Each structure stands twice: as C-alpha cells, then as structure tokens.
Amino acid sequence: MVMLIKYFLVTEKAMLELEKNVVTAVVNIKARKEDIKKEFEKLFNVEVEKVNVLVSPKGEKKAYIKLKPNYSAEELLSKLGIF
C-alpha cells in the first residue's frame, strides 16, 4: 500500500487554517479525496468532515482536511510533535 499523505505543512497559511480545524498536508499526486479521507481517518483515528485538494505550481498536491467539530486539529498535530 502506498502512503498517500507525504507530510504536513506548517506555514503561515496552514496555521490560519488550523484555527478553522483544518489540517494541511502534501499528498501523493494521484490521491483522490475519498482515499485521503479514508487514510487520514484510519491513521489518526479521527472523523473527517471534508477534503479539498489543489495542485500547486510546483506540481505538489495539497490537501486541506477539515475535521469534524468534536476533534481538534491543533491537538492532533501536537500529538504528532508537529505543532
């Protein structure tokens, strides 16, 4: 199985999104929204409300993963040692 989530972004914009309970990650270019949602829920034991994706001019695919209100994006990233 190929890991779809490569790494999490910790930029100024990503920190602003964190306040909206959204985690920003760079994912495999061939990853689909449904696959990202399933893998994220399975790996981190959280519920995902929705996933938005975009391909940057660098050719990287970014996923904006919005968690359901009963989960905290800040808590998740701090448990992982990212934030």
Are 37 and 53 spatial neighbours (Cβ–Cβ below 8 Å)? no
Side by side, the strands of the sheet bearing 22-27 are: 5-8, 22-27, 61-67, 48-55
What CATH number does residue 44 fall under? Answer: 3.30.70.330
Q: Is the pLDDT of residue 64 over 80?
A: yes
Number of domains forming the structure of the chain:
1
Q: Are strands 22-27 and 48-55 parallel, antiparallel or unpaired?
A: unpaired
Q: Is the pLDDT of residue 1 over 70?
A: no
Full residue range of the structural domain in which residue 74 is found: 5-79
High-pLDDT (> 90) share of the chain, %: 92
**DSSP single-letter state for residue 68:** P
